[in-house]
Amino acid sequence: MIKILIALIIGLSIFSCNQMEKNFVPVEDQYFGLTPPGLIPEIFAPGIVSDSTWAEHCQVAVSPKRDEIYWSAWTGKYKTEDGSKNTEQIFYSKFENNKWTKPQLAEFIKNNPHGLNGGPVFSPDGNKLFFYQVKSPWVSSDMNTYYVEKVDGKWSDDPIDICQPYNTEDQDYSPIFSNKGIAYKNLFGKISKYSYDNNNFTFADSIIIHKEFRPVWNFYMSPKEEYVIFAAMHEGGYGDVDLYISFKTNDEKWGYPINMGDKVNTKLRERFPTVSPDGKYMFFMRHTPGQDFFWVSTKIINELQIKTEGTK
């Protein structure tokens, strides 16, 4: 009887170890400890970032070191001063000890708890974080972009207004940076191009991706400016607003925008695209009941590029 019991214990131990080896995925083989998606978009970090307690908004901001993320969300926890409306606030989570920390309100916006704070974007070197802000009491048209700077591993306390010519009397969304010293801003379908150097923005030009398309909200420009992903309404789409991609041609012009397909686009609204610093994953927001963030492998971009080249 004892021999049978010992054999059973040994057998269960071997089975348990085999199951652990089968189910365990080393953290270095995962993205932030999460199982990476394939060509079908999945909700990003459910219960951590994409959470039912708030409505996510704008793009996900992943640090160049991929050890912290920032995002904004509409939440009833922070109301306007008269208590009548929810506000948009910036939250963050850090990857420590192979897991994400509990989301917290960003320290640098705590002086504006009744206003709007959203659209976080890292500078290419990761030492600055840009975001838009509407002071309280807020008027939506009075939206300017600010930034904080990282000093000794911590963000500065007081957001800095980047001023004109970037900030105007209209809604000024956060900049989109390339690695060519260029920053872009979309304002009601008009994309403005700025040279960017040492915190200074100098207006350079306006660009048009294609006359048939009017990009809405923030878009994504690849670091080498090889392609641009944007949200737009266009005939033949899958729903309200879809994501489109345009590749730069050999003559430095933008190719005809391509709908990113029924895996990315649905009858719902998709917008706020961005790509992780390592170029492996695309993030975007889908208007599910909770306005969730989704992510998908950028192999889908490669496939669309091959498809485009095949039609030339």
Domain definitions of the chain by residue range: 46-181, 208-312
CB burial string 198-208: b at 16+ within 10 A, e below: eeebeeeeeee
Cis peptide before 26 (omega within 30 of 0): no
Sign of the Cα torsion 31, 33, 36, 41 reads negative
- Print pLDDT tens along the chain (312 aa): 444 333 433 343 333 344 333 333 444 545 667 889 999 999 988 877 777 677 777 889 999 988 889 999 888 788 888 788 888 899 999 888 877 888 899 999 988 888 889 999 999 999 999 999 988 666 656 788 999 999 988 999 889 999 888 888 878 889 999 988 899 988 777 888 899 887 789 988 888 888 888 888 889 999 999 999 999 988 888 888 999 999 998 888 889 999 999 999 999 888 999 999 999 999 999 988 778 899 999 999 999 998 776 555
| Domain boundaries 208-312, corresponding CATH code | 2.120.10.30
230 by DSSP, 3-state: which? strand
The position carrying tokens 């500065």 is 156
Diameter of the chain measured on Cα atoms: 85
Region for 198 from its dihedrals, namely left if φ exceeds 0, alpha if ψ lies in -120 to 50, beta otherwise: left
Q: Taking the model in full, what pTM does it have? A: 0.84
Q: Is the dihedral of CA 33, 90, 130, 173 positive or negative?
A: positive
